[in-house]
């Protein structure tokens, strides 16, 4: 059936091209998760033992990764207004691959930190933090939450490699694993960059696969000829920075990232040394966290499309706080007794991931979507660098994580009231779906 105003005889494609972009995002981040984000946790203790470094020294690298991502994300967001997403993904993949090879060849703490920074620069442009959500926000409107939720499923497929990495490290050593992953990232990401396309309008389509009208096609032709300028719906960056929602969401994400980054860096050592699990069992708990997070990623994205986003945010913060309480009060002595924590933390972690692309487009439109997502992520990740080093310092001082975990639980509960001060979905929709005038 042809849509009202659409060209006669034109039909929707069987598979909308936007879903191929979603699949490419998932695949790229599955590789990055296996090689670096989650998979590197399995190499945490082997590297520490190889060089005889302190826990704080290793944790500082994770904090450095967060800091670099916090700086890099805004830069990527602004760069996407000048370079194509395909170029961004390609060169970021090259940098990440070379960085992983270098990390496998380190000979001391200086080179360890240098290659962590290089890899972090690369992943800032190719992960599902900025580049892919910007593309997806342009290719989807009504189904944006679902599309972003699916696009960030990469760690679900990559996190089981934590277990494999543990086994491979025992067999081949951590250096061989990192070098091999470097070549996989270099080749794989380069190929996936070919899928990236800027906008559906450039290819005779509209967001969500809607059929363009003659007026839409005439407008696109005028844009290509340079006789008119593209103006996407939503706020300018200056207008975004004057809204309370931007600062509230940035603060909310920052607090959640403190807890998230702390546990991602220290979960395996925590379960080994504070709870007595074996290295393999501890790796399994991290894998299960990311498997469970898949339900949060898809479910959180869908709920953002269909319900009051403020309730979704409040529930995620509550779940994050309760997960830390269970670590303190639960009788954890095996993988299965850790499952209440895994479920609560995994759902909160997963639900938080689609926030950047979904809320960025919902609150502010797509006019400045790259800059908005970059700034949201940059502020949140910069705050998140506190988590890993905070837990590392307290562990070195006290010999356990007990007091640090109570602090993390308090952070989760403290940000729940923040959601009450955000604007209603209706008021946000009124601002984000029309072209706003420039702020004076």
For residues 240 and 366, is the Cβ–Cβ distance under 8 A? no
Please give the average per-residue pLDDT across 46-65, as a whole number.
79
* Residue 114 lies in domain: 17-209+234-432
For residues 58 and 112, is the Cβ–Cβ distance under 8 A? no
CATH number of residue 118's parent domain: 1.20.1250.20
pLDDT-derived band of residue 294, with 50, 70 and 90 as boundaries? confident
Q: What is the spatial distance between Cα 263 and Cα 270, in angstroms, rounded to a whole number?
A: 9
Q: Is 402 a residue whose pLDDT tops 80?
A: yes
Q: Is residue 31 part of a domain?
A: yes
Give the pLDDT confidence of 134-167 residue by residue, as tens digits. Answer: 889 888 888 888 888 888 888 788 877 878 888 8
Give the pLDDT confidence of 305-316 residue by residue, as tens digits. Answer: 778 889 989 999
Please give the average per-residue pLDDT across 124-129, as a whole number.
84
Q: What is the spatial distance between Cα 149 and Cα 136, in angstroms, rounded to a whole number?
A: 10
Residue 397: the pLDDT is: 85
The helix or strand, by DSSP H or E, that contains position 198, with its residue range, turns out to be none
Domain count, the chain: 1
Give the pLDDT confidence of 75-99 residue by residue, as tens digits. Answer: 888 888 788 889 999 999 999 999 9
Q: What is the spatial distance between Cα 324 and Cα 316, in angstroms, rounded to a whole number?
A: 13
Q: Is 391 a residue whose pLDDT tops 90?
A: no
Q: What is the mean pLDDT of the chain?
A: 83
Q: Is residue 10 part of a domain?
A: no
């Amino acid at each position: 059936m042809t849509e009202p105003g659409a060209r006669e005889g034109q039909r929707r494609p069987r598979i909308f091209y936007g879903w191929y972009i979603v699949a490419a995002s998932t695949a790229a981040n599955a590789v990055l998760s296996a090689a670096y984000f989650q998979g590197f946790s399995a190499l945490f203790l082997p590297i520490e033992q190889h060089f005889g470094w302190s826990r704080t020294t290793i944790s500082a690298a994770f904090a450095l990764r967060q800091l670099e991502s916090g700086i890099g994300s805004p830069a990527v967001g602004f760069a996407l207004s000048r370079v194509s997403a395909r170029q961004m993904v390609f060169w970021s993949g090259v940098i990440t691959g070379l960085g992983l090879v270098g990390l496998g060849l380190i000979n001391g703490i200086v080179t360890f930190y240098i290659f962590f920074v290089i890899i972090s620069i690369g992943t800032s442009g190719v992960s599902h933090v900025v580049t892919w959500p910007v593309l997806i926000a342009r290719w989807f409107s009504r189904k944006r939450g679902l599309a972003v939720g699916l696009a960030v499923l990469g760690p679900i497929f990559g996190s089981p490699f934590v277990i494999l990495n543990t086994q491979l490290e025992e067999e081949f050593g951590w250096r061989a694993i990192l070098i091999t992953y470097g070549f996989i990232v270099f080749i794989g990401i380069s190929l996936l960059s070919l899928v990236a396309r800027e906008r559906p309008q450039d290819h005779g389509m509209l967001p969500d696969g809607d059929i363009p009208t003659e007026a839409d096609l005439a407008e696109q032709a005028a844009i290509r000829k340079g006789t008119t300028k593209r103006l996407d719906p939503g706020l300018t960056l200056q207008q975004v920075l004057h809204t309370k929602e931007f600062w509230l969401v940035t603060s909310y994400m920052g607090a959640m990232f403190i807890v998230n980054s702390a546990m991602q860096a220290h979960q395996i050592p925590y379960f080994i040394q504070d709870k007595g699990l074996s290295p393999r069992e501890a790796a399994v708990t991290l894998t299960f966290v990311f498997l469970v997070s898949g339900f949060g990623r898809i479910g959180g994205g869908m709920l953002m499309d269909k319900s009051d986003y403020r309730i979704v945010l409040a529930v995620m913060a509550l779940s994050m706080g309760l997960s830390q309480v269970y670590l303190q009060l639960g009788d954890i002595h095996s993988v299965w007794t850790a499952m209440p924590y895994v479920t609560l933390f995994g759902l909160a972690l997963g639900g938080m991931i689609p926030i950047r692309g979904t809320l960025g487009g919902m609150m502010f439109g797509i006019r400045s979507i790259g800059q908005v997502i970059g700034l949201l992520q940059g502020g949140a990740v910069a705050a998140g660098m506190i988590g890993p080093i905070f837990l590392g310092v307290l562990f070195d001082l006290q010999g356990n994580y007990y007091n640090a975990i109570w602090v993390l639980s308090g952070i989760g509960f403290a940000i729940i009231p923040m959601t009450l001060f955000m604007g209603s979905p209706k008021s946000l929709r009124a601002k984000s779906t029309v072209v706003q005038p420039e702020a004076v």
